[in-house]
Structure 1
Amino acid sequence: MPKYMLIMRGTDETNAAMMASIDEAMAATHRFIEEMIKAGVLLAAEGLDDPSRGVVVDFSGETPVVTDGPYGETKELFGGYFLLDVASKQEAIEWAKRVPAVAGSKIEVRRVAGSDEVPQGNERSVEERAGRESRI
């Protein structure tokens, strides 16, 4: 089955609204995660730390430049994700519509490319695949 990532996207305003009722938000999220576990579709779910504690590595120039958060533009920030193993994009969308999100938030639904979609013939991809398989 294909994998889909539900990426939680918020703004400063939606993050503040969620934090104002964090206990309720966490309880709703826990219930949602339990539903996905019972349905057998959840592979992973993680929230991201506050963007002010992150950094950006910018490759615009000759050498990478590291800038401390918060980011210059915070119109939309990734807040976390759910990784699902579902039968179709439509099923992933149906789960995304059930995410307990505050008004103004967005959930981006993206298919995770399978290893069979990445060129496999070059030396580096053969080494990477062997390394992954040795850890299993």
Structure 2
Amino acid sequence: MRFLIAVKADKNSEAGALPDTKMLTEMGKFNEELVKAGVMLAAEGLQPSSKGARMMFTGKEPVVTDGPFAETKELIAGFWLWQVKSKEEAIEWLKRSPFGPGAVVEIRQVFEVADFGDAATSEVVERGKRLRAEIERQKSS
């Protein structure tokens, strides 16, 4: 099972404050554990919403709004993509992370093709496989 681990933004991350050396060191050690255990598939921090945009699809033309966005509780400051056996395993891993008081991290399971049932026709499944293969090919180029 794959899970997205979403680190919620706060006033500091939205202000563009970067983690200090101690936090970077602790997070690096935690990430090494995840990699050695074969859990981590990806991990990235995100720039503040002031450098981003939102697009709303409400009619014929999408509406684009530049950041920053007011509600930090709705924003993500970074993420991991983990491969684990269960939500419980993801929770146990996250308990070992170096986050301190006030941090909010959300765990969300990623859909797999089988989750879509009959809507995932053989054509849809094959297209997905081709796209994943092309992504891997591009990464190795």
- Determine if the TM-score, normalized by the shorter chain, exceeds 0.5: yes
In 2, Cα distance between the equivalents of 1:97 and 1:41? 14
1:67 aligned residue: 65
In 1, Cα distance between the equivalents of 2:43 and 2:105? 14
1:120 aligned residue: 120
**Equivalent residues of 2:2, 2:83 under 8 A apart:** yes
Alpha-carbon offset, residue 38 of structure 1? 1.5
Correspondence list, 1:48-67, <5 A: 48-67=46-65
Report the CA distance shift for 1:60/1:104 in structure 2 as closer, same or farther (over 3 A). Answer: farther
Alpha-carbon offset, residue 130 of structure 1? 5.0
**Structure 1 residue ranges (4+ consecutive) displaced by more than 4 angstroms after TM superposition:** none
2:92 aligned residue: 94
**Equivalent residues of 1:4, 1:110 under 8 A apart:** yes
Name the Cα RMSD after superposition.
2.5
Alpha-carbon offset, residue 128 of structure 1? 2.6
Number of residue pairs the alignment of both structures matches: 133
Unaligned runs of 5+ in 1: none
SS where residue 72 of structure 2 aligns?
coil
- Please tell me the residue identity of whatever aligns with 2:131: R
Normalised by the size of structure 2, how large is the TM-score? 0.79
Normalised by the size of structure 1, how large is the TM-score? 0.82
2:2 aligned residue: 3
Report the CA distance shift for 1:81/1:71 in structure 2 as closer, same or farther (over 3 A). Answer: same
Which has the bigger relative contact order, CA under 8 A and spacing at least 6?
1
Unaligned runs of 5+ in 2: 137-141
SS where residue 104 of structure 1 aligns?
coil
Alpha-carbon offset, residue 91 of structure 1? 0.4
Alpha-carbon offset, residue 31 of structure 1? 0.8
**Equivalent residues of 2:9, 2:72 under 8 A apart:** no
Report the CA distance shift for 1:66/1:34 in structure 2 as closer, same or farther (over 3 A). Answer: same
Q: What are the superposed Cα offsets for residues 53-84 of structure 1, whole Å, 9 maximum, x if unpaired?
A: 00011224553111111013223420111111
